[in-house]
């Protein structure tokens, strides 16, 4: 009885340079079991005028920050997200008041959530940086709903003060684009980035 050939990349460590549980779960759902190493990058100290470039820069900083902690041959992925709303680029809110104020401006309107991705192949000494964007249409929510949502604490820890995979999902009318981008990691984009490194995503399945 013949056995399938072993996957050449199966044993390579895949490092996620992010403490986001949502990003980790997206990878796990796609068959990748990441080793999480928190980068410690202070996102609030990095500024920019272009949301896609800012998200990409932050993702690159996160990935680069953990390189001295990873095993030889590791693949390292850094991600970061920002919301472009009106003329503002919004990361995580500073506190409950800011989160509530944002929601009062965002309700009934739309913004674009950008997620930057930086993938480093330490074996080949190659790096790829890409960004994806998804348009988010916010529901017309009441002040009471906003107060209740902020009280959960969920919007205090995420870019744009909302999530698509938690309490906040009920307050999003619809999106135009990849839902993973909004959650924090675009799996279709990651697949393409791996392809540029001549690595098939299925080779990383556990």
Exposed, middle or buried: residue 1 (CB in 10 Å: 0-12, 13-18, 19+)?
exposed
Q: Which residues pair with 80 in a beta bridge?
A: 116
6 lies in some domain: no
100 lies in some domain: yes
The pLDDT score that the predictor gives to residue 5 is 39
Range of the domain at 19: 14-204
The pLDDT score that the predictor gives to residue 45 is 83
135 lies in some domain: yes
8 lies in some domain: no
How many structural domains are present in the chain?
1
List residues with catalytic annotation: 80
Q: Please provide the DSSP assignment of 154-191 as one string.
A: GGGGSGGG--SSSGGGGGEEEEES-HHHHHT--HHHHH
Query: Going residue by residue through the chain (206 aa), what tens digit of pLDDT does each one get?
Result: 444 434 444 558 999 999 999 999 999 999 999 999 999 888 878 889 999 999 999 999 999 999 999 999 999 999 999 999 999 999 999 999 999 999 999 999 999 999 999 999 999 999 999 999 999 999 999 999 999 999 999 999 999 999 999 999 999 999 999 999 999 999 999 999 999 999 999 999 98
Does the pTM exceed 0.85?
Answer: yes
- The DSSP H or E segment spanning 120 is strand 110-121
CA atoms of 206 and 10, how far apart (whole Å): 7
CA atoms of 150 and 148, how far apart (whole Å): 6
CA atoms of 45 and 57, how far apart (whole Å): 12
Tell me if 161 sits within 8 A of 99, measured CB to CB.
Answer: yes
60 lies in some domain: yes
CA atoms of 163 and 183, how far apart (whole Å): 7
CATH of the domain at 29: 3.90.950.10
The pLDDT score that the predictor gives to residue 11 is 57
The pLDDT score that the predictor gives to residue 42 is 83
3 lies in some domain: no
Give, as one character, the DSSP assignment of residue 31: T
Q: Within 10 A of 10 (CB to CB), how many other CB atoms are there?
A: 11
Tell me if 128 sits within 8 A of 82, measured CB to CB.
Answer: no
43 lies in some domain: yes
CA atoms of 110 and 146, how far apart (whole Å): 16
4 lies in some domain: no
CA atoms of 180 and 118, how far apart (whole Å): 16
Tens of pLDDT, residue by residue over 14-34, are 999 999 999 999 999 999 999
């Amino acid at each position: 009885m013949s056995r399938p050939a072993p996957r050449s990349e199966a044993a390579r460590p895949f490092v996620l340079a992010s403490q986001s549980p949502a990003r980790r779960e997206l990878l796990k759902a796609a068959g990748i079991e990441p080793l999480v190493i928190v980068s410690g990058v202070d996102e609030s100290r990095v500024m920019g005028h272009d949301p896609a470039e800012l998200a990409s820069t932050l993702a690159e900083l996160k990935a680069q920050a953990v390189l001295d902690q990873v095993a030889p041959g590791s693949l390292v992925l850094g991600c970061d997200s920002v919301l472009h709303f009106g003329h503002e680029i919004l990361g995580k809110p500073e506190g409950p008041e800011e989160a509530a104020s944002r929601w009062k401006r965002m309700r009934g309107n739309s913004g674009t959530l950008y997620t930057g991705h930086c993938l480093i192949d330490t074996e080949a000494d190659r790096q790829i940086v890409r960004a994806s964007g998804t348009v988010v249409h916010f529901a017309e929510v009441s002040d009471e709903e906003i107060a209740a949502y902020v009280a959960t604490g969920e919007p205090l820890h995420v870019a744009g003060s909302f999530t698509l995979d938690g309490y906040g999902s009920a307050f999003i009318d619809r999106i135009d684009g990849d839902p993973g981008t909004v959650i924090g990691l675009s799996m279709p984009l990651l697949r393409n980035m791996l392809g540029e490194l001549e690595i098939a995503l299925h080779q990383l399945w556990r």
